Homo-oligomer: A and B are copies of this chain.
Amino acid sequence: MAVQVEKWDVFELVLMGPQAGNPFIDISLSATFTQADRSLRVGGFYDGDGCYKIRFMPEVEGEWSYVTSSNGAGLDGVCGSFVCTSPSVNNHGPVRVANQFHFAHADGTSYIPVGTTCYVWNLQGDPLEEQTLRTLDAAPFNKMRMCVFPKRYTFNSNEPPSYPFPAKFVGELKSSWSREMVEAYYNQQPPDYWDWDRFNPEYFQHLEKRILDLCERGIEADLIIFHPYDYGAWGFDRMPAAVNDRLLHYLVARLASFRNIWWSFANEYDLFIGRTMEDWDHYMQLVQQIDPYDHLRSIHNCLSFYDHTKPWVTHCSIQNWNMYRVHVWRKMYGKPVVIDECCYEGNINMLWGDLSAEKMVHRFWTGFVQGGYVGHGETYTNEREELWWSKGGELVGQSPERIAFLRKIFESAPDIQPVEKMDGEFVNLMETGGGRPFIRGTQAIDTIMAEGPWNCTAGGFHEDDYFIFYFGSHQPGFRHFNLPEGASFRVDVIDTWNMTIECFAESASGPITIPMPTRQYMAIRIQKN
């Protein structure tokens, strides 16, 4: 009976080959997978102990055949076939951009990214990693930002269980960093602890195990390939250029067949020293070229935005604190806007990690009602120095349950486009003297908003059938709307903090006045019946 693999699952071919020399560099291996007139070439990789692997994610049902190509003894010309069956019920395929500003799985199921961040949760040892998975089981998140490399930073002084490269010499690993250390570090030559010509398969095996743990839970792995938080501990932020490229090939060969992979080329790319914009362009173009499945590609800023209009960027991965700008970024970049870092709920000694739960939830709502996607992180201190944002573990904050409430609301909404020129833009206009804040148009949203630009701090809509307005720190006692005559609308008043939805009218039309409770963090949702 033929091998069966369900659509968007992994077909893996394991071959034994040469162990002598340096298999990572000496041996080339690929396979061509063919179905009817469709043919894809896929790179293989060396997994240690003479074991070579080729992984393939079939995107079309039916019989596939393959044949390998290699310069290694026993690895060339191996051929075979398998049958790709229909996907199981929870397998919706990889996430793609849909409707320009949104996302959907390959099977058409809508995907509303509600992300969190645990940068190196996969490098904390099994007990904590398994706790993280249990926490995720009860949490609202369906996307995880996580790193390929270990992280050295405040609250991150521990060594990973293993390293991505075999050690040549493990010197004194710095356990924390100071301004002076960083300066000294960047005046040094690159460290020379590692055999840059080989990978440590054990390290990557564990990484992929954790990515598959997420996949089982329906969580996308937004994999951060490079990050600058090394500070002399290991030197992974300043590897030779050839090693960076080899890593990209290796990651694609190992991981591209996992349907929940997203490629995030950097965290805070603009904090790297000695890396040019051309380097970043090159990494993204290279992966665009070698990833047979065209997984999502993004790059995350600290201060300076990458130019997300570049064609190899599939969506914006933004760090910023001003969610009122979501509608501007959508217009600027013409792509989905994911704000992966808007600060973290927590109480550490940095502004980016001491946001109140109220404000975190506020930023989520401000972004989501404009058709953007805001991400979560948590940085409450504890004696174990296990902060969710970096190591995973447990969540203690008050925002996740509100984010779960929000997720339900937006998963039941159509694709939203933003009301433009609201609060955030208004502030800018006031400073620059750019004229009136709000040009009334001919769209349904303009008709409905009886108070014009004064209606809400942020809002969004879908055609003439869905409208959502958010009030943030404003606390109206009432609001007027002009619903179109000749159609009937359900009107709900939502308390985003207390997580209640109160129906004002099941069937309304024409001018209405909605009483509201003079409380912060309220929203109004108007849906055509």
Chain A positions near chain B (C-beta within 8 angstroms): 270, 301-305, 319-322, 325, 343, 347-352, 354-356, 358-359, 362, 380-381, 423, 426-427, 429-431, 433-437, 451, 453-457, 471, 473-480, 516, 518, 520
Contact = CB atoms under 8 A, between A and B. Distances in A.
Contacts of A423: 321, 351
A455 B350 CA distance: 6
24 contacts: A303-B426, A303-B429, A304-B434, A305-B430, A319-B430, A320-B431, A347-B476, A347-B478, A349-B478, A350-B454, A351-B453, A351-B454, A351-B457, A354-B474, A354-B475, A354-B477, A355-B474, A356-B473, A356-B474, A358-B473, A358-B520, A359-B474, A359-B520, A380-B518
Contacts of A350: 451, 454
A202 to B, nearest CB: 37
Nearest to A304: B433
A356 B473 CA distance: 6
Contact of A451 (B321, B349, B474, B478): B349
A305 B429 CA distance: 10
Contacts of A520: 356, 358-359
A71 to B, nearest CB: 45
A423 to B, nearest CB: 7
- Most-contacted residue by chain B among A301, A427, A476 (CB, 10 A): A476
A305 B302 CA distance: 31
Contacts of A453: 351
A476 B427 contact: no
A518 B347 contact: yes
A352 B433 contact: no
B475 A355 contact: yes
A162 B425 CA distance: 41
A480 B349 contact: yes
A469 B478 CA distance: 36
Contacts of A351: 423, 453-457, 474
Nearest to A477: B347
Contact of A303 (B355, B356, B435): B435
Contacts of A302: 430
Which DSSP category, helix, strand, loop or mixed, fits chain A's interface? loop
A380 B362 CA distance: 23
Given A303-B433, A305-B433, A473-B359, A322 B427 contact: yes
Return the 8 tightest CB-CB contacts between A and B, nearest first: A347-B477, A304-B433, A359-B473, A350-B454, A347-B518, A354-B476, A354-B474, A356-B475
A431 B427 CA distance: 15
A231 to B, nearest CB: 16
A440 to B, nearest CB: 10
Nearest to A350: B454
Contact of A348 (B304, B348, B349, B476): B476
Contacts of A352: 454
A191 to B, nearest CB: 25
Contacts of A320: 427, 430-431
Contacts of A473: 355-356, 358-359, 362
Contacts of A430: 301-305, 319-321
A416 to B, nearest CB: 20
Nearest to A303: B430
A320 B423 CA distance: 11
A474 B360 CA distance: 10
A380 B475 CA distance: 10
Of the listed residues A304, A359, A478, A480, the one surrounded by the most CB atoms of chain B closer than 10 A to its CB is A304
A348 B474 CA distance: 10
Contacts of A434: 303-304
A381 B474 contact: no
Contacts of A477: 347-349, 354, 380-381
Contacts of A479: 349
Identify which of A349, A457, A478 gathers the most chain B CB atoms within 10 Å of its CB.
A349
Given A305-B433, A320-B427, A351-B456, 15 more contacts: A301-B430, A303-B435, A304-B433, A319-B430, A325-B431, A347-B478, A347-B516, A348-B477, A351-B455, A351-B457, A354-B477, A356-B474, A356-B475, A358-B520, A381-B477
Nearest to A475: B356
A475 B349 CA distance: 9
Nearest to A457: B351
A130 to B, nearest CB: 27
A359 B321 CA distance: 17
A321 B454 CA distance: 13
Contacts of A456: 351
A341 to B, nearest CB: 11
Nearest to A480: B349
A325 B474 CA distance: 20
A348 B471 CA distance: 12
